[in-house]
Structure 1
Amino acid sequence: MQKDRLKIAVIGGGSSYTPELIDGLIRYYDQFPVTELILVDIEQGADKLRIIGDLAQRMITASGKPIKLHTTMDRREAIRGADFVTTQIRVGMLDARSRDEKIPLSYGLIGQETTGAGGFAKALRTIPVILDICREIEELAPDAFLINFTNPAGLVTEAVNKHTKVKSVGLCNLPIDTKMQIAELYDVNQEDLFIEMVGINHLNWTTKVVIDGKDQTEDFLKKIAGASGFSMKNIPDLEWDSQFISSVGALPCAYHRYYYMKDEMFREMNSKFQETGKTRADDVKEVEAELFELYKKPELVSKPPQLEKRGGAYYSEAAVQLMKSIYNDSGDIQVVNVRNGGIISCLPDEVSIEVNCVIKSDGPHPISLSKALPPQIRGLLQIVKAYEELTVQAAVFGDYNAALQALTIHPLIGDEQLAKSLLSEILVQNEAYLPQFKNA
């Protein structure tokens, strides 16, 4: 894919995450020489885009890298002729996220941005907008890769793969963060470590750990049993029970705590909400306000360490490594969201999965699993994937029946009357963002 000119369009350029991306593009410029970078946002994000654009330009100028930066509200012009389009959008902004978290809590359920009823609501708002972006990519940059970091990333990837011709890869910072933590645990370089991850976005398991060619999976599971760690900044770091980890036979990702420790996680969330009236979304609003005050400072020419509080740590590593590997036809292994195509035999071919892939110039190539999934992994995976299939159908077509079934079968809900009440409230609270449901 080597080219004299390399254009990247960032949809949602006014995001507080963007300095992470700029940092990565600067650090990896010699292997991924971006010539044109376009940050685009909507009118409601104009002020943030201006602040981010100014900071990004200061970062680029200080680095001495010849990257031409532009900011715009014209999404079509940003996409036109791009080699890569990245998406990091939040439809409805943080106010919508706050509702996503608080509505389930009012029903005695976990309220989380990407999991359960909260993730469902976000998917309904987000998928149609991403598909609109994809139609513009098909028209204006048909050879471009879409690198999607917008949550829920797995659902978005599945919708794009099922309903567009865009070359899409879903991305999450959880896999790269997990690999970094395992490397730190064993005090080894990441280059000497191989991990096999299998599942779907925010529901994957680390099933194999190999260090310097030696399988250390059994030793690794003993080390983490009964220990904290291996969580994300937005998820309470509750310890894994040693007997439970042994029975799973794999490391569950941080988001599994919502399934395996459902009652305890709800108590943590609800206790905070009852005491303060706040959820994680409200915390993020405060962090973002602090970040944008920092971003305004003319002396700031690098990403501030406070950005890690936002939960976006290593975003630039994941995003830039992926684009760099495609650009250079590297053939290295990364964990990304792609079409299943028979890799996980217990799931349909056309759904999205999150697995190890060899990254080539034509995109990711999923690697066959080292062993079949045991029932304790397969069972939870299949039901959550069925929920995702129904949610994509509901989001694309405004299918009320699919939406109702999606909520009913989700393990964090599991009751048809509760699901019906939740769905009604979600549709009412998000009416402005859900025109596909106008006849529901």
Structure 2
Amino acid sequence: MRLAILGGGGFRVPLVYGALLRDTAKPRVEEVVLYDVSPDRLAAIGHVLAQLAAPYEDAPSVRVTTDLDEALRGADFVFSAIRVGGLAGRTADERVALDLGLLGQETTGPGGLAYGMRTIPVAMRVAERVAALAPRARVINFTNPAGMVTEAMRGVLGDRVVGICDSPIGLIRRAATALGLPADRVSPDYVGLNHLGWLRGLTYQGEDVLPGLLDAPEALRTVEEARLFGAEWVRTLGALPNEYLYYYYFTRESVAAMTGGTRGEQLLTQQDRFYADVAARPGDALAEWRRTRRERDESYMADTREIADAGERDAADLEAGGYEGIALGLMAALARGEPSTMILNVRNGSAVPGLPADAVVEIPCAVSGAGIMPLATRPLPGRFLGLLQQVKAVEQTAIEAALTGSSRLAVEAFALHPLVDSVGVARLLLDGYRARIPSLDAVFT
């Protein structure tokens, strides 16, 4: 099989390739084509992959290209992890909001909307080229904001595009571990949107064991999300929230934690150094990548963990892997007929009562060689459903704004977001983003 990776010069591509190296079942991916707009980044990641592959006799071959059509032609799977505007765009996403006293974050709030609106036109072009050049290929979308981008691409590709995220599986794994249970033997009742969901139940041998975890102080303290939100609040909710809900439940604390510097600014410094170091010493590419990865993982949500007194990230959790395992598992289930239940970003249909049928939601799905089947979820209480309905309406307005180039709809999307407190500020957000990010300005020009 041939896998095309869009955003092939991205820092996390070696994680995907490493998972492919460890996969020995047949059929397997035998060729990887890396596509990126930056030849320098492609060269750096190419060095890392070559050094990863050195101990393996049957490693998938790697080809790099800056031509999108060349990358897509004949692909069986397309993994999309592009970043329109680069990390410089991300720093603007975060900083423009913070300068107005609002949350500045990559996927949540106004920063996520700005990122989505400039990304969607590019994602739609990718979808159109996939339809033309790889008509049987499945697209696995990790491009953020994953739910919004997947929903837009569905307009061209329908069920052939699915979104993935590693946050839900990490939460489920931590909850199962806290209970001393194997993570692959529990059935999660997880429901929401990308970066906005709750683990409401965890079934093991026919019994929901999550209430027992919520009532066990010592076990609960081992779950990072419980430390982040506080045991009292998760017991109040009766659920374990996705870590990104911290930005909704503790908005003021989140803004205060970011005033010293944003995540995007930290990553921009880290990754500029990594790519420069690899260019200077290509023989050390893998060692540099591993060093930078440790630094990156350990600093993930560090500001919010510090202000919430949540402590350091668990070492075992850092080693457990994330979205690369989901991507590989999804490809294996579809191509080899290995049945699996996975949490994916898919069309709602009637799976989540109260949300539009065409909305992309993040829920458990049964995956096999026959395709992907969303599993029905229990009705949500108003305190959860109301937030999902509001954010989904904002996302769908932002998608329409990006597809039509309507600045009026863009202001509407910003103004209706629960983390934006004024229509006037919404107008300032759009003006600020257009001034700082050329790729976003082009959408509305």
TM-score (norm 2): 0.89
1:121 aligned residue: 114
1:304 to 290, 299, 307: 290
Summarize deviations over 1:310-362 as a string: whole Å, max 9, x none.
35952211211111111122221000100011111201100100000011224
Summarize deviations over 1:279-311 as a string: whole Å, max 9, x none.
111211233245443695526668726424435
Summarize deviations over 1:206-257 as a string: whole Å, max 9, x none.
01112343310211223479847435xxxxx963244432232211110000
2:427 aligned residue: 420
2:245 partner letter: H
Instruction: Work out whether residues 35 and 67 of structure 2, in 8 Å CA contact, stay in contact via their aligned partners in 1.
Output: yes
1:72 partner letter: T
2:121 partner letter: P
1:394 aligned residue: 401
1:71 to 61, 64, 70: 64
1:253 aligned residue: 242
Q: Secondary structure at the match of 2:143?
A: coil
1:248 partner letter: L
State the alpha-carbon separation in 2 of the partners of residues 244 and 185 from structure 1: 18
- 1:207-226, aligned counterparts within 5 Å? 207-223=200-216
1:409 aligned residue: 416
State the alpha-carbon separation in 2 of the partners of residues 149 and 32 from structure 1: 23
Summarize deviations over 1:382-425 as a string: whole Å, max 9, x none.
11111111111111111222211111111110311111111222
1:175 partner letter: P
Contiguous gaps of at least 5 residues in structure 2: 301-320
Question: Given the alignment of the two structures, is residue 284 of structure 1 paired with residue 292 of structure 2, yes or no?
Answer: no
State the alpha-carbon separation in 1 of the partners of residues 368 and 404 from structure 2: 34
State the alpha-carbon separation in 2 of the partners of residues 166 and 332 from structure 1: 17
In the superposition, relative to structure 1, how do residues 226 and 265 fare at CA in structure 2: closer, same or farther (>3 Å)?
farther
Contiguous gaps of at least 5 residues in structure 1: 1-5, 232-236, 273-277
Between the two proteins, the alignment pairs up a number of residues equal to 419
In the superposition, relative to structure 1, how do residues 219 and 192 fare at CA in structure 2: closer, same or farther (>3 Å)?
same
- 1:143-154, aligned counterparts within 5 Å? 143-154=136-147
- 1:1-400, aligned counterparts within 5 Å? 6-31=1-26, 33-42=28-37, 45-165=38-158, 167-223=160-216, 227=221, 229-231=223-225, 239-270=228-259, 272=260, 278-292=261-275, 293=277, 297-298=282-283, 304=290, 306-311=292-297, 313-369=321-377, 371-400=378-407
1:25 partner letter: L
2:241 partner letter: P
- Percent identical among aligned pairs is 32
State the alpha-carbon separation in 1 of the partners of residues 437 and 284 from structure 2: 40
CA deviation after TM superposition for structure 1 residue 54, in Å: 2.1
2:33 partner letter: I
State the alpha-carbon separation in 1 of the partners of residues 278 and 188 from structure 2: 37
Q: Secondary structure at the match of 2:386?
A: helix
State the alpha-carbon separation in 2 of the partners of residues 226 and 409 from structure 1: 35
Instruction: Work out whether residues 79 and 139 of structure 2, in 8 Å CA contact, stay in contact via their aligned partners in 1.
Output: yes
Instruction: Work out whether residues 14 and 40 of structure 1, in 8 Å CA contact, stay in contact via their aligned partners in 2.
Output: yes
Q: Secondary structure at the match of 1:15?
A: coil
Instruction: Work out whether residues 331 and 360 of structure 1, in 8 Å CA contact, stay in contact via their aligned partners in 2.
Output: yes
State the alpha-carbon separation in 2 of the partners of residues 238 and 189 from structure 1: 21
State the alpha-carbon separation in 1 of the partners of residues 100 and 70 from structure 2: 44
In the superposition, relative to structure 1, how do residues 300 and 124 fare at CA in structure 2: closer, same or farther (>3 Å)?
closer
State the alpha-carbon separation in 2 of the partners of residues 169 and 437 from structure 1: 27
Instruction: Work out whether residues 139 and 160 of structure 2, in 8 Å CA contact, stay in contact via their aligned partners in 1.
Output: yes
State the alpha-carbon separation in 2 of the partners of residues 119 and 219 from structure 1: 35
2:324 partner letter: S
Instruction: Work out whether residues 85 and 439 of structure 2, in 8 Å CA contact, stay in contact via their aligned partners in 1.
Output: no
State the alpha-carbon separation in 1 of the partners of residues 27 and 144 from structure 2: 25
Root-mean-square deviation over aligned CA pairs:
2.2
CA deviation after TM superposition for structure 1 residue 196, in Å: 1.8
In the superposition, relative to structure 1, how do residues 165 and 346 fare at CA in structure 2: closer, same or farther (>3 Å)?
closer
Instruction: Work out whether residues 118 and 439 of structure 2, in 8 Å CA contact, stay in contact via their aligned partners in 1.
Output: no
